Every structure is written in structure tokens, then in C-alpha cells.
Structure 1
Amino acid sequence: MSLKHTYTLWSPIYDLFVDRATRGARRRSIARLGDVGGQTILLPGIGSGLDIPFLPGGARYHGLDLTPAMLERARRRADAADMEIELRVGDAMDLPYEDGRFDTVILHLILAVVPRPPHALSESVRVLRPGGRLLILDKFLRPGQRAPLRRMINPLISRLATRTDVVFEDLLARHPDLRVIEDSPALAGGWFRHIVLRKDEG
């Protein structure tokens, strides 16, 4: 089953499972944006738009998702919040934007969802301007962490919704142009993490 098909099926009930559990962590992550006046900000894998109510004004926002059914929910949420945001269908692993277009990229619960996390991170880095920031909220294993249950269930759960075996440090090692500004626990005893990265000026 493709990711698009899976999340089309999930879309009517996705918020029931995810919204309350992640709302506080989303709010805290987005608070790290600070003053966004004049910025252009991308949210790959925006899903049903659970981040939209917390986005500060003053920026130009773009949201992208693989699943039209999820984007329709995001459009309704944006309308309810009176938020101007350009929403389009697209793949976080193959972003339809030019290099260096965005000041900030927000990756909430997407790197551990896509089939190829390194591609998703690489694409976000590509479209980020030098000096720009990546805000990440997701679940990651630590290097060398055994986590036998998480690894055991991954083959099944990755077909249904998300991956449980992604090691963030393995992704980061591919990008010497990224600097870690923050890496702190977010949820579930630190399984979910707040990570802020900055792209080198060049």
C-alpha cells in the first residue's frame, strides 16, 4: 500500500489520533520561529494542517502534502484560522521548488513517515537558503539504541502509518552544511525530539 493511499484512508480519523497527543509539542516547536516578518516558510508533509493554528503572522507560508484528502482538511483549517497559505499536492522527497527559496522549513512528523527519510531531509536542505533554519519535531532512535520493540514493529507499522527505526544522527551525517542549534526532548521520554538546525552560509 502506497503512502498516498494509506493517508487517504487515515485522513477522516487522523486528527482524532494525532491532534491532542502532539498539540503541545507542535506549539512549542513553532514558538521557536520567533519573528517571521518577511520570511518565506515551507511545511512539507503539512497533512491535515495541525500546525496552522500556531503559525505566527507576517510570513508567506507554503504547505505541501502527498494526499489531496489531507490537504482538503488543511484548507478548511486555514480558512477557519484566516491564515493565508499556499497549499499544493507534492512529495516531500521531491520538492517542486527551486534551490534556496525558503528562509525556514518546518518538518513535523514527516521524516519518520516517508519511505526514504534521507531524501526528504536532503530536499528540505536544498530548498533552504544559506543561513536558514530547519525546525524538526519527530520520533527518532538514538545511535546504538537497541529499542527491540520499536525495531520489531517497524516492518508492520511503517506500512500503516509511520516508521519507528529512524536514527536522526544517520540523516544528519549526510549534511556537513547543517549545524545543530537545539536538540531537546519533546514527548514520550525523549523518543520525540525538538531539533533546530541551521544551514551554513556557504
Structure 2
Amino acid sequence: MVGAARWDSYAKFYNLVLKTVAAQRQQLFQRLVLSEPLKVYIAGCGSGLDLPYLPAQSAVLGVDFSAKMLKQSAQLQQQLQAQGHPLALTLQQGRAECSGLADSSVDLVLLHLILAVTDQPQALLQEAIRVLKPGGVISIWDKFAPQQISRLRRIADYLSRRLGTTLLLQIDDLLQPHSLVIMQRHRMLCGQMQHLMMTDPTTHLTTHNKERG
């Protein structure tokens, strides 16, 4: 995948592009039903588009390897503060699979539009599991490939990788080595985008899995 310098160059139009899925982002946070302040890890936080949806007073670590994206996150935090929605935000430049957080230390991990970008998706998912508290939630939102991948999709992936993202990531294969419980699963854009809410099975013994198309 492309490096930090390329993502720095994307920073000036990143928010404009992501407006195309702004409604999806709003809907997924409605499903998460966040109210009380939380300890949150945002892996690949980008320009901070998730920040307005987090409960005020939450302690948030955002990691991204683009310095310009992190600068935009900091500016958004200042705007939220001025609007009476303060967050204890720490921003860290680096790779998201190396957060530096303690084991079992966060209530919520957001993996939003990052698994298809990183060249180490399995390592990133493992990091999310490592830092999650018992009873915590991992929220995954991204574009995922179906089990049968067409030749046209493979050709498109050849081009998309040069922009920094893959079209071939299969979420079920990624989750297979782990024992996470899928609490909810929502498919959007004819299944091209998915939102999954997951937790540790040891703390999810009484709730039935929900899968929605």
C-alpha cells in the first residue's frame, strides 16, 4: 500500500471524498448507541471524522501515519471543544497495529475504513483484540469482497492499490482465526460495504447474534 507521504497528499481532499459515505457513518454510530464517556482507540483516525460521534469527555487515542491527517484531527477537536463537546484526545503518528496501549484497556475500538488500507490487516485486528476490555466493542466498517471474486474486481483492485486501498479483502477470512462474537452485521451498497459490531465471547453469553442485510 502507499506510504505516509501519499496520504499526506490526500489530506486536502479526503473529507470531500468521505462525504459520499457520511450517512453510513452516522447510521453506524446510531447503532453503537454511545452515551457515557468511554476510553476509545481509533486505528487509522485520518482527519477525525469519527470524533463528533463519540460521547463528550471520552478519552480517545487516534493513531495515523499521516501527519497532515493528524493535524486535521487536532483542528476538529478544537472545534468540538468550542462547541461544548470536549474530548481528551491524544494523537499519535505511527502504525495503527502498534498502538502502545495496555492490554484490555479500552471500551471501544474503531476500525473504520482502515482494514482495507493497511498492509497488515490481521495484525491490526489482533491489536484491536489485545487492547479491548472485557465487554468492550470492536466496530469494523469497510468495503469487503464477496467469497467469489470476479476478474473485473481483480482488475479494479490493481488500480485501487495504487491509490492506497484493496478491493479484495474478505472479512470472514480475516475473522476466522479469532473467537469474536458478531453482535450485529449490516450490509450496505449491495454488500460492498459492511458494518460489524463485535465483542469477546466470554462477555457475550446471553445475547443472540444479529445479522441484517
Structures share fold, TM-score greater than 0.5: yes
The one-letter code of the counterpart of 1:135 is: S
Distance between the aligned counterparts of 1:94 and 1:158, measured in 2? 23
Equivalent position of 1:81 in the other structure: 80
**Deviations for 1:116-163, whole angstroms, at most 9, x for unmatched residues?**
211111111111112211111100012x22233222222331131211
Q: Gapped runs of 5+ residues in structure 2?
A: 204-213
| 1:198 aligned residue | 199
- Which structure has the bigger radius of gyration? 2
Paired positions, count: 198
TM-score normalised by the chain length of structure 2:
0.86
CA contact (8 A) 1:130 1:200 kept: no
Task: Tell me the distance in 2 between the aligned counterparts of 1:53 and 1:147.
Answer: 37
Corresponding residue of 2:111: 107
> Contact (CA 8 Å) 2:37, 2:55: kept in 1 or not?
no
User: 2:141 maps to which residue?
Assistant: 137
Structure 1 unaligned regions, length at least 5: none
Write the distance in 1 (CA, Å) between the matches of 2:186 and 2:34: 21
Matched, 1:171 2:174: yes
| 2:187 aligned to which of 182, 185, 188 | 185
> Structure 1: how far apart are the matches of 2:6 and 2:177?
29
CA RMSD of aligned residues (A): 1.7
Instruction: Confirm whether residue 69 of structure 1 aligns to residue 73 of structure 2.
Output: no
What SS does the corresponding residue of 2:190 show, helix, strand or coil? helix
What TM-score comes out, normalization by structure 1 length? Answer: 0.90
Moved runs in structure 1, 4+ residues, more than 3 A? none
Contact 1:3–1:114 (CA<8 Å) still a contact in 2? no
Amino acid paired to 2:200: K
> CA contact under 8 A between 2:34 and 2:54: conserved in structure 1?
no
Q: Is the counterpart of residue 160 in structure 1 residue 159 in structure 2?
A: no
Aligned to 2:51: 52
Q: 1:139, 1:193 within 8 Å by CA — same for their partners in 2?
A: yes
Which residue number corresponds to residue 9 of structure 2? 9
